[in-house]
Amino acid sequence: MMDIEEALALIQKGADEVLVLDELRERLKLQRPLLIKLGCDPTAADIHLGHTVVLNKLRQFQKLGHKVQFLIGDFTAMIGDPTGRNVTRKPLEREEIAANARTYEEQVLKILDPDKTEVVFNSSWLDELGTTGVIKLAAKYTVARMLERDDFKKRYSSNESIAVHEFLYPLMQGYDSVAMQADVELGGTDQKFNLLVGRELQKHYGQTPQIVITMPLLEGLDGVQKMSKSLNNYIGITEPAKEIFGKVMSISDDLMWRYFNLVSDKTPKEIEALKTKVAAGLNPRDVKFLLAEEIITRFHSRQAAQEAKESFIAQFQKGVMPQDIPEIAIQIDMEIPLPNLLKQAGLVPSVTEGGRMIEAGAVRIDGEKIADKATKIAAGTQHVYQVGKRKFAKIQLDAET
Amino acid sequence: MMDIEEALALIQKGADEVLVLDELRERLKLQRPLLIKLGCDPTAADIHLGHTVVLNKLRQFQKLGHKVQFLIGDFTAMIGDPTGRNVTRKPLEREEIAANARTYEEQVLKILDPDKTEVVFNSSWLDELGTTGVIKLAAKYTVARMLERDDFKKRYSSNESIAVHEFLYPLMQGYDSVAMQADVELGGTDQKFNLLVGRELQKHYGQTPQIVITMPLLEGLDGVQKMSKSLNNYIGITEPAKEIFGKVMSISDDLMWRYFNLVSDKTPKEIEALKTKVAAGLNPRDVKFLLAEEIITRFHSRQAAQEAKESFIAQFQKGVMPQDIPEIAIQIDMEIPLPNLLKQAGLVPSVTEGGRMIEAGAVRIDGEKIADKATKIAAGTQHVYQVGKRKFAKIQLDAET
């Protein structure tokens, strides 16, 4: 086992807050496997790099000898939206939830140690609470403190309705920590309030309160918005290796360091060493290679990472790939025909010439040849466009607002 | 059966609000026995005239052919105060609740028709709700509307804490109406919010919403504060007939009309006729006799009423009882020795003389001879004091603040 102070430094790496660090130190001194809780929705999971920020932290705990419990919030999922207003939140059947949980488990086990990972379902204790249990639970928290939660506060002050049962959900989520006797709970920064409710409730139920660790929300490829599938700025962990390689290579140098900090396994020291080298003249692109390789090695294999790298180099670097590809941001409506885009980016003299180059097989996006001149590109994307051997541009397409 | 409009007039007599009158008219037209709900705490009952305001209204419904269900709120009583802050609200055992319910029933059956009265317990359906049921129930009401309830609004704006479970109680009370399929619910004006929650919930559960009837809170003997045992301004329905007679005779003429309106069985027409007679010169005292007799007849018997009246006349009226006893208010600390009080009220020239008169058997309180000159009188009381045959004073003792 690692020295406790070293372990604390590792746990704090990339974390937004550790509440309370001293308590975590004391807990680590117990020299027993701690129980680390992560709550998950039992909706169909399609895990992307954003999710792995928390998962990596869990893996670090596992490497330190601790045990992870995934808490599947099946109880409320089976209820759906009881107000009936949100038709997209239909009640899930027990079988759907079980299937989703399995898919989820398969994916997270690409990151986590299966021997130190357990899946639990909160229906097993929330059902049992019953009317009396819910009343007693609800008695442990005040309306005023509930209304301090950011989203409740905003909705209340702007006269958007909050149904009374919404106050019960954070309490039940907190009660999960009581039932599980969690030592540590992890979550995104947006979960801080709920995680702290768990801490508080454990005190009420006579337990030593859990340590709460919040992790930052990872920005997507655009470097601005939270990584999400719906914004199409994500790297899915089951995407093909070449796809992941290209996406990683497309991020800005600043964002690269953020990713190193949040998704890489490198220690803070190793990352500092890389920064020093870049400051001394190393091409950031080569450091980005390391990041891409590490990510692909984790989700596919070392060999797949190697192949993806070679393929990328073959397409972009061999010959004349410039040291610095110019970055361009263009505002469009919803989408734009590729020949028009090439013209606007100055890669071709005219739209007609753009179409001609496509038909001649001389246009590539992220190294992939594009043969159809009717191809349209959507707003909200960022790709490397190549015309012939020498013309490159990394184009960010933003939607006009 | 009475004509519907006549029935409506009777139901409205003394009521603060009927929500909604048109709906009640429609419901009466159904020509079936309606189910009238009254919710009660399962604490030990000691019913006084204040309670009978609502009970009389229930009896009127019974006379019209409808059925009364007393809802004993045993479910939450068994929980007690789940915050543990209010030590006086200990959880009640099932046996205590059953015993209290029996005492309660015995007393209310002095007013109500046993054949049309049923006692029900809400544990039989609230237990069953379970965690899921409570969540679904809580989803039917918003936090903002809950905070519109007077006491919640005040406490929230003055930073007094409201525990989350307090929001669940009005919902459960409302759900009682759903489970009972109540047609009409009665309560004091202070219950209006909760009664309306029941109305609302019934709509959510696909029922025709109950009609809500609120009854004014009866003032105590002082004519100012709500009648209550703790303020010692009450007339208990199991008190001896003479006691009740004396207490009724002690109220002001204004308050007498209020009592006629709220606790007497006389119709609005009959009351108007009495008022006309008083305006024409009838002594209000004689009208007060009618009120006292009616109340005693209800809770004891016609004969007891007659005897109480005769005894009262023997003590106070025969001979020289003045038409108008002077009313005096005196401020004291906690209590005052009787001789001192008589001096302060001007009934005796000195404290010593007061003591002497007591020993001589010449001092009466509410017609009862007082023999012990060490007698002390507590603040917060009102009695008629008599010294000898001719000196009377009705003295209100207030605590100095």
ipTM of the complex: 0.72
Chain B within 8 Å of A83 (Cβ-Cβ)? Answer: yes
pLDDT at A1: 54
- Could you give the residue ranges of the DSSP H alpha helices within A217-337? 241-249, 253-263, 268-279, 284-299, 302-312
- Between positions 116 and 175 of A, the ones with CB within 8 A of B are 126-144, 146-147, 152, 156, 159, 161-168, 171
Distance CA A182, CA A172 (A): 14
Reading the block at residue B350, the tokens are 């000195």
- For residue B176, the distance in angstroms to the closest alpha carbon of chain A comes to 14
Reading the block at residue A238, the tokens are 């089951």
For chain A, give percent helix, strand, coil, nearest 5.
50, 15, 35
Residues of B in contact with A133 (CB under 8 A): 131
CB atoms within 10 A of CB B269: 8
- For residue B121, the distance in angstroms to the closest alpha carbon of chain A comes to 15
Per-residue pLDDT of chain A (401 residues; tens, 9 = 90+): 568 998 998 899 889 999 999 999 999 999 899 999 999 888 766 789 999 999 999 999 999 999 999 998 888 888 777 777 766 677 788 888 888 888 888 888 888 999 999 999 999 999 999 999 999 999 999 999 999 999 999 999 999 999 999 999 999 999 999 999 999 999 999 899 999 999 999 999 999 999 999 999 999 998 888 898 777 889 988 899 999 998 999 899 999 999 998 888 888 889 999 999 999 988 888 899 999 999 999 889 999 999 999 888 877 655 445 556 788 889 898 889 999 999 999 899 899 999 999 998 889 888 788 889 999 998 888 888 999 877 888 898 988 86
For chain B, give percent helix, strand, coil, nearest 5.
50, 15, 35
Region B344-350: what's the mean pLDDT?
Answer: 91
DSSP secondary structure, A148-166, as one string: TSHHHHHHHHTT---BTHH
In the 8-state DSSP scheme, what is residue B149?
S
Distance CA A306, CA A310 (A): 6
CB atoms within 10 A of CB B397: 20
Reading the block at residue A210, the tokens are 């859990």
Amino acid letter for position A106:
E
Residues of A in contact with B164 (CB under 8 A): 138-143, 146, 167-168, 171
pLDDT at A170: 93
| Residue located via tokens 């899946």 | A119
| Residue located via tokens 């609000």 | B17
- For residue B171, the distance in angstroms to the closest alpha carbon of chain A comes to 10
Choose among B319, B317, B260: nearest CA to B290: B260
In the 8-state DSSP scheme, what is residue A363?
E
Distance CA A162, CA A147 (A): 10
Chain B within 8 Å of A299 (Cβ-Cβ)? Answer: no
